[in-house]
Structure 1
Amino acid sequence: MEPCIRDTALLYFLAEVKKTDGNDYPSASLYQLFVALQGQIRLSDPSVNLLTQPTYAKCRKVLDSVMKKRSAEGLGAASRRRAEPISSLEENILWERAVIGSDNPPKLLDTMVYLNGIHFALRGGKEHRNLRLNKNPQITGPYIDSELHKRYILYKEDISKTNSGGIKDKKYKIVKAYENIEYPDRCIVTLFEKYKRLCPKDEVDAFYFNPLVNYTTDQCFCKVPVGHNILQKTVKRLCTAVGGKRTNHSLRASTATRLYQAGVEEQLICETTGA
Structure 2
Amino acid sequence: MNHERELPNFDMFQGFLDYDDEPDENVEERIDKFIQNQVPAATTKKTKSDIRKLDAFLQRKNETRPIETIPARELNIILCEFIMELNKDNGDPFEISTYNGVRYSLERHLKAVKHPQPDLSGKEYDKFRACLSAKVTIAKGAGKGNRPNRAMPLSEDDEKKPWTSGAMGKHSPKCLLRALWWKFTTGFGLRGVQEHRDMQWGDVKLGESSEGTFIEFQERATKTRKGACPGRPFTPKIYCTCEGQCSESCAVALFKLYEEKRHNKEHPAFYLAINYQSKEDWYKNQPLGNGSLSKMMKETAIDAGLEGNRFTNHSGRKTGVKRLLDAQVAPHFIAQLTGHKSVSSLSSYAEADEKMQKRMSAVVAGESHPAGPVKRTEVVSRADGGQDVHAQSMSTGASGFSGNFNGCTFYVYSRN
TM-score (norm 1): 0.62
2:191 is matched with: 123
Alpha carbons of structure 1 residues 129 and 243: separation in structure 2 relative to 1, 3 Å: same
Residues 179-190 of structure 1 mapped to structure 2, 5 A cutoff: 179-181=240-242, 184-190=247-253
Alignment deviations for residues 164-199 of structure 1 (CA, whole Å, 9 cap, x no partner) = 589x96545521101141562110000101011101
Identity %: 27
Task: Tell me the secondary structure at the aligned position of residue 268 of structure 1.
Answer: helix
Query: Within 5 A, what are the aligned runs for 1:1-275?
Result: 82-133=150-201, 137-141=202-206, 143-146=207-210, 148=211, 150-158=212-220, 160-161=221-222, 163=224, 171=232, 174-181=235-242, 184-215=247-278, 217=280, 219-240=281-302, 241-244=305-308, 245-275=310-340
Structure with bigger RCO (C-alpha 8 Å, 6+ apart):
1
Q: Give the direction of change, closer, same or farther, for the CA distance of 1:255–1:220 in structure 2 (3 Å limit).
A: same
User: 1:164/1:153 Cα in 2 relative to 1: closer, same or farther (>3 Å)?
Assistant: closer
Q: In the superposition, relative to structure 1, how do residues 163 and 96 fare at CA in structure 2: closer, same or farther (>3 Å)?
A: closer
Deviating 4+ runs (over 3 angstroms):
160-166, 168-173, 200-203, 214-217
Q: CA deviation at 1:107?
A: 1.4
Q: 1:126 Cα shift?
A: 2.1
Secondary structure of 1:89's aligned partner: helix
Structure 1 residues 172 and 163: alpha-carbon distance in aligned structure 2, compared to 1, 3 A threshold: farther
3-state SS in 2 of match to 1:186: coil
Q: 1:120·1:155 contact (CA, 8 Å) conserved in 2?
A: yes
Read off the aligned partner of 1:246 and give its amino acid letter: F
Q: How many Å separate the matches in 1 of 2:248 and 2:230? A: 39
Alpha carbon RMSD of aligned pairs, Å? 2.9
d(CA) in 2 for partners of 1:90 and 1:115?
A: 15
Give 1:253 shift: 0.7
3-state DSSP of counterpart to 2:214? strand
Give secondary structure in 1 for the equivalent of 2:167. coil
Could you tell me the TM-score, scaled by structure 2's length?
Answer: 0.42
Offset from partner CA, 1:9-48 (integer Å, 9 cap, x none): xxxxxxxxxxxx69xxxxxxxxxxxxxxxxxxxxxxxxxx
Q: Following the alignment from structure 1 to structure 2, what is the Cα–Cα distance between the partners of residues 106 and 98?
A: 11
| 3-state SS of paired residue (2:152) | coil
SS of 1:250 mapped into structure 2: helix
Tell me if the contact between 1:179 and 1:188 (Cα under 8 Å) persists in the aligned partners. Answer: yes
Structure 1 Cα separation of the partners of residues 284 and 236 of structure 2: 28
Q: CA 1:89/1:145 → structure 2, altered by over 3 Å: closer, same or farther? A: farther
Distance 1:196 1:211 in 2: 14
AA aligned opposite 2:188: F
Structure 1 residue 101, shift from structure 2 partner: 0.8
Of residues 102-111 and 196-205 in structure 1, the stretch that sits farther from structure 2 once superposed is 196-205
In structure 2, how many angstroms separate the alpha carbons of the residues matched to 1:97 and 1:179? 23
Distance 2:279 2:232 in 1: 42
Contact 2:232 2:336 in 1 (8 A): yes
Shift of 1:162: 5.8
Which amino acid in the other structure matches residue 145 of structure 1?
A: S
Q: Secondary structure at the match of 1:246?
A: coil
Q: Distance in 2 between matches of 1:179 and 1:200?
A: 22
Contact 2:194/2:222, CA 8 A, preserved across alignment: no
Is the CA contact 1:129–1:227 (under 8 Å) kept in the aligned structure 2? Answer: no
Instruction: String of CA shifts for 1:144-175, please: whole Å, max 9, x gaps.
Output: 231x3x211011211x4465589x96545521
* Aligned residue number for residue 46 of structure 1: none
Structure 1 or 2: larger helix share? 1
Q: Is the 8 A contact 1:125 1:231 kept in 2?
A: yes
* 8 Å CA contact retained: 1:255, 1:273: no
* C-alpha contact (below 8 Å) 1:173/1:274 kept by paired residues: no
Aligned pair in 2 of structure 1 residues 238, 216: CA closer, same or farther (>3 Å)?
closer
> Gaps (5+ residues) in structure 2?
1-95, 98-144, 341-416
